């Protein structure tokens, strides 16, 4: 149980294009989903926290208009990188929390490696 999928796993795009990344909880309902960015050999950097049906809470320094997050249902959240530039190249990881009697448990998706040319 507790499987989270992410799609696509890898994307290469040209500068200026937008990229959408999907995060799905396959066998549980995720009351909260988190989006992270990770640079090589570094820790996970939280970008935003989203709850189903409400606006995402972005971390300081993360541009809301550039990284659009939609949490449309209890099993799906999307991250859209708008007008991507080479500096947006990174490993993006989502996680989902079932919000059950064990709080804070996060199950991670496999990640999406974005390369912007």
Partner 1 sequence: QQPVQSPQAVILREGEDAVINCSSSKALYSVHWYRQKHGEAPVFLMILLKGGEQKGHEKISASFNEKKQQSSLYLTASQLSYSGTYFCGTVQGKSTFGDGTTLTVKP
Binding region for partner 1 (CB under 8 A): 2, 6, 34, 42-44, 46, 49, 57, 59, 93, 95, 102-111
How far, in whole angstroms, is CA 63 from its chain's centroid?
14
**Minimum gap (Å) between residue 60 Cβ and partner 1:** 10
**Minimum gap (Å) between residue 45 Cβ and partner 1:** 8
Contact predicate 21/6, CB 8 Å: yes
**Minimum gap (Å) between residue 82 Cβ and partner 1:** 23
**Minimum gap (Å) between residue 110 Cβ and partner 1:** 5
**Residue number with CB closer to partner 1 (34 or 75):** 34
| Secondary structure of the chain as H, E, C letters | CCCEEEECCEEEECCCCCEEEEEEECCCCCCEEEEEEECCCCCEEEEEEEECCCCCEECCCCCCCCEEEEEEECCEEEEEECCCCHHHCEEEEEEEECCCCCCCCCEECCCEEEEEC
**Residue number with CB closer to partner 1 (44 or 82):** 44
**Residue number with CB closer to partner 1 (48 or 74):** 48
**Residue number with CB closer to partner 1 (17 or 115):** 115
């Amino acid at each position: 149980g507790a499987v989270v999928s992410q799609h696509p796993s890898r994307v290469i795009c040209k500068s200026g294009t937008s990229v959408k990344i999907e995060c799905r909880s396959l066998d549980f309902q995720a009351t909260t989903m988190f989006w992270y960015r990770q640079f090589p050999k570094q820790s996970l950097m939280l970008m935003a926290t989203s709850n189903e049906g409400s606006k995402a809470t972005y971390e300081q320094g993360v541009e809301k208009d550039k990284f659009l997050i939609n949490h449309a249902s209890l099993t799906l959240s999307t991250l859209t990188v708008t007008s991507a530039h080479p500096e947006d190249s990174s490993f993006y990881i989502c996680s989902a929390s079932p919000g059950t009697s064990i709080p804070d448990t996060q199950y991670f998706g496999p990640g999406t490696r974005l390369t912007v040319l």
